[in-house]
Amino acid sequence: MTGSPRRTLVATALALLAAVAPLTSLAGAAPGAPAAAADAPAQLDLATSRAQWIDKNTVAWDVQGDASSQELVYARDGRLTLKDGELAGEGRRIRLAPADGGLTEAQRKKYPHLKDYAAFTVDPRDRDRIRHALTGQVVATRSGADGTLLAATGVQTQGILDDLYSATATKAALGPQFRDGRPTLALWAPTAQSVSLELDGKRVAMRRDDASGVWSVAGGRSWSGQQYRYVVKVWAPSVQKVVTNKVTDPYSTALTADSRRSIAVDLDDPRLAPKGWERLKKPKATPLRDAQIQELHIRDFSVEDRTARHPGQYLAFTDKASDGMKHLRKLAKSGTSYVHLLPAFDIGTIPERAADQAAPDCDLTAPGPDSEEQQACVTKTAAKDAYNWGYDPLHYTVPEGSYASDPAGTRRTVEFRQMVQGLNGSGLRTVMDVVYNHTVASGQADKSVLDKIVPGYYQRLLPDGTVATSTCCANTAPENAMMGKLVVDSLVTWAKEYKVDGFRFDLMGHHPKANILAVRKALDALTVGKDGVDGKKIVLYGEGWNFGEIADDARFVQATQKNMAGTGIATFSDRGRDAVRGGGPFDEDPGVQGFASGLFTDPNASKANGTPAEQKARLLHYQDLLKVALTGNLSAYTFTDSAGKRVKGSEVDYNGAPAGYAAAPGDALSYADAHDNESLYDALAFKLPADTTAAERSRMQVLAMATATLAQGPSLSQAGSDLLRSKSLDRNSYDSGDWFNALQWNCRAGNGFGRGLPPAADNKDKWPYGKPLLTSTSLTPGCAEINGTSAAYQDLVKLRATEPAFSLTTTARVQSHLTFPLSGTPAETPGVITMQLGNLMVIFNATPEPQKQSVTLPKGATYSLHPTQAKGADEVVKSASYERGSDTFDVPARSVAVFERD
């Protein structure tokens, strides 16, 4: 503190007086006090929240310079305002003192993004006011010695709320809890001034537990099945006033149509269990490292399947005779183990009643294959139609209503369970795509739930107090104890009550690693005897991307690719995907080629690919990336790269990051395409030379998928990719309706290509590239190509599932069993990867010509084409051969051949 002793005494006296009296103004110079320093910046903005109350002792604030006093001012009525540079309104004070040395080491570790903030200690005499202060508006102020207000801002309170309440609140049972048919409803709302229950139109008082901040009320049997909402009176920083919100239960287990009311439902009620539910027999669990996964959207699956009796619904998976279910059973028989369902929780962007859903009002089949008309018509109704991928969570633990035969009430519960039964009965386990990293809305928006109950807590806030939106929506903050608890509680409910066999986390890197490990621990505790499921057999994987306000562990140790290695929870690996396709998802020119799209060996006309020498160099580097991917993206695996240098997987460059990051097979999930970005067929449409025939495109599709299928660790394929699925070049079809998204199970209906130019919003810059392709006959496959692709893919899945060499359990075993014998030698062929795996020799020939690969083998070794391929559906690959005298493998063009040592 600077200034004369007199100035300090005056300021201290003013602070003591203010601490015990209501305020009408904090500003106003003391008589005879000198003016504030001329260079002191005025930071007066109550609409922002730049101070952070991190625990009961400490406020962190990004301020510099000295001030004579710091205070928290709070007002239950929320009427503190700034007027003429002064703080006006009736409020109470909590005194603060600068903390010598700033935040403690422990605080910096917990809040690394605040490490350079100034720290202020709450006066011990005022700590009894904290809980009351948190139920209203809180403002942080700094004043000069003359009383001039130097800074005033709102206060973020998520840290102090966790410090005060989480130890008890995290143990609380929230939402509807039933005992002997009688429900108790509980809501965590520690900052609320009051909470009551609106039950079937009537208000019921709720009781607050001061230790946990949980409000609860017990009801009678008559409450079962009743509609309810909570009425929460609370300070809302987003609108700068105290509001009374009528809001659904974030722990809802059932909802009315369009999520307008929660319904008090006991998920253990026998009436909600379909026949055979308690005795449901699941397919044998496949370990994650061996998982072969089909990624599937519920509506896509059946909405255009004329053989389905329940198009677009959960019940379509009970239609055993439909083309879609027949195809899934074929995949299961070949070795596919899981169906990964795109989000199926309550979605905020689809009208749930069919009568409220819009549909395109034009004949979409009339315009030409390269017309703009289809996308224009689809776009007009996109916001109100029945379609969305579903990454718009409204309620996390209730099935989406638009997929049910009746969205009102519990039909969605019963029919979701029937869907799980249908998939399990077809030999497939069920994975749910879950989206806990953001909500569909925040603040006082109509579809905001969490933020209306505890404003500023469940959403992740930026330094100024605004909600972070790096996920393209309102980010949540699972680093906060009660959001982390919600994630765990929700997933346990899906596992126990819906018998879901796995979870895929959207943008998992936006979660703390600790949160995902807490999920794993909670699931592992589930047992068949106690809970009806074996939680240890539930698989977990997610997107470990590193970006946004939490990138590089800025706020916590993230659940990213590198950090999740060794946990048994897999992350998607983009290394192999980009190498096999070429370029990246956001290239200005979509013609950038890769290993399976003709780079160097079958060049297209795009100048973005560079000179032949540049293409060759990039192709060989892509081959190194694929070699690492084939090991399971292992960090410590060593091999000779294409330049002849001995390297670890972690030393191979992927856009400035290590290509290899996994500690063991199963840490990385391989894929060539998923719902994001162009489908594999459409990517190859952009990248392969325009005159590539449909038959050749089919072969390149199989080759590209094989790089993921035949890798160590799990692999995922977008449903329909084995049928050459196209979305008419749409790179982001999340809201493109059935026209661009629906799966075609019958080859006579085509593969979806040529349905017009894709929607302008995300694709118009690529229209000049796409327009000539959409009319090309070589890009319109027939039944021979569609069915042939699927049959060849199924052979590879079967081969992968039945050969133990593809299921190595440790880095050491991969190191000793898997080699690339020609890598880095003069015999390495651009466009060809030769992989020796135990008694197998796997050769990926991505070139348009047959290739011979001569390998030094032990004396007397002989090989022949693997029986699965020799007796399989791909007639071309059957010509692959081994010449014993020269140890040469002869592989046809655009083929992957697997040879077995005799």
Active site residues: 506, 543
Handedness of CA 682, 687, 693, 699 (dihedral sign): negative
Tell me the CA end-to-end span of the chain in Å, nearest whole number: 85
> Could you tell me if 110 and 158 are in contact, meaning their C-beta atoms sit under 8 angstroms apart?
no
CA 522 to chain centre: 20
- At residue 816, φ and ψ (nearest 5 deg) are -85, -20
Listed residue (616, 633, 617) closest to 625, CA to CA: 633
| DSSP secondary structure letters along 17-77 | HHHHS--SBS--PPTTPPPPPTT---EEETTS--EEEEETTEEEE---S--SEEEEEEETT
Place of tokens 């009806």: 532
51 forms beta bridges with: 61, 155
Helix axis angle for 574-581 and 612-630, nearest 10°, is: 150
Provide the token pair at 459: 């959403």
Provide the token pair at 639: 């091999």
> Dihedral of the CA atoms 252, 257, 258, 259 (nearest 10)?
-20
Count of C-beta atoms within a 10 Å radius of residue 41? 11
Provide the token pair at 130: 């904290």
Whole-number Å distance between alpha carbons of 756 and 758: 6
Place of tokens 């903030």: 117
**Which positions ≥6 away from 187 have C-beta within 8 Å?**
174, 195, 206, 214, 215, 216, 230, 232, 249, 250, 251, 453
The continuous run of DSSP H or E covering 708 comes out as helix 694-709
Place of tokens 């070794």: 861
> Could you tell me if 37 and 144 are in contact, meaning their C-beta atoms sit under 8 angstroms apart?
yes
Provide the token pair at 342: 């795109």
SS3 49: coil
> Dihedral of the CA atoms 612, 617, 620, 624 (nearest 10)?
-150
**Which positions ≥6 away from 641 have C-beta within 8 Å?**
624, 627, 647, 652, 823, 824
Provide the token pair at 336: 């596919």
DSSP class of residue 281?
P
> Could you tell me if 401 and 364 are in contact, meaning their C-beta atoms sit under 8 angstroms apart?
no
